[in-house]
Amino acid sequence: VFSSVTSVLNMSIFKDEFVLEDLIQELKKKSTALSFGPLQSNGHVSVQGSFPAIKLLRDFLLIKAKSLSEKDKPEESESYQRPKRRLQQHRLTTETSNSVRDADGEKQVVVLDTDTYRYMKCFFPRTFLVNDDVVISDVTDGDVTTVYIENAGSRSDAGQVLSVKEKIEDQSIKLHNTLRKERIYFGKHTGDEKWRYTRVCASLKPRYPYVLVIPYSTHIDVIGSSSEIFGFTKEVSS
């Protein structure tokens, strides 16, 4: 059980719609069980409290972020969405930054953007490679994936768990600074469009090996570096 967790919230996605200082004050009133640090110049603010309380805060902010993204939805006639954005501009990103020791040993938790997590699992699987003394599990809730790291054996020490946590955080930060995401919509004739786009994406894979393609019922998300996403989506739409 985590008695206290410290998270760093990236509030910069709200700066065009809200005065961040006023938004922080609103959050303080809504989440009296949490302790807020000072707002940094880059839009980051640290929050400390119980994990359930921070999860409620996260859900509240995700709703706000989703309401902003609704303005960017394409018209039905559009086949794909522009412009490209950093993944953290699509949604709230949080990363926990402390650990709590319980009776079974030390546990760590890292909260990641789901798209970043999927990209890491696909192209950087060694990030999650651990020995038998450490166990990693994950829970995905929409745009957010929570990764749990904990000791599994009596011979393991707290340093191993912390090292794995830091490795995951370091890799996720690097990817957040480089990854871009495009969403390709199927249009009105969903079945035919889905088949065509799926076939084209598969044919482009050898030329764009580091682009992650995630199919959905109404669209396809493509994630990768800015240059590769630009070339990939240009060829798909041509």
Model confidence at 150: pLDDT above 70: yes
What's the pLDDT tens digit per position in 31-73? 888 888 888 888 888 888 877 778 778 777 877 776 665 555 4
Vertex 74, ends 70 and 80: CA angle to 5°? 125
Q: How confident is the model at residue 210 (pLDDT cuts 50, 70, 90)?
A: very high
Residue 51 CB coordination number (10 Å): 18
- Of residues 154 and 57, the one with the higher pLDDT is 57
Contact 181/93 with Cβ under 8 angstroms? no
Residues with Cβ < 8 Å from 7, sequence gap 6 or more? 46, 47, 48, 54, 58, 94, 95, 96, 97, 111
Top mean-pLDDT range of 21-25, 56-60, 117-121: 117-121
Range scoring the smallest mean pLDDT among 64-73, 97-106, 140-149, 199-208:
97-106
Q: What pLDDT shows up at residue 72?
A: 52
Indicate the pTM of the whole model: 0.60
CA distance 31 to 60: 10
d(CA 42, CA 83): 22
User: 117: closest CA among 166, 64, 176?
Assistant: 176
Which of 55, 59, 69 shows the shortest CA–CA distance to 14?
A: 69
Smallest Cα–Cα separation from 139: which of 102, 97, 109? 109
Give me the architecture of the 99-176 domain, per CATH.
Answer: 2-Layer Sandwich (3.30)
Question: What pLDDT does residue 46 have?
Answer: 83
Q: What is the pLDDT of residue 154?
A: 60
CB atoms within 10 A of CB 130: 17
- The domain limits of the chain are 8-83, 99-176, 180-237
CA distance 132 to 157: 12
Which pLDDT tens digit goes with each residue over 73-85? 444 434 334 333 3
Select from 3.40.1440, 1.10.260, 3.30.1360, 1.10.10 the CATH code of 180-237. 3.30.1360
Do the first three CATH levels of 99-176 and 180-237 match, i.e. the same topology?
yes
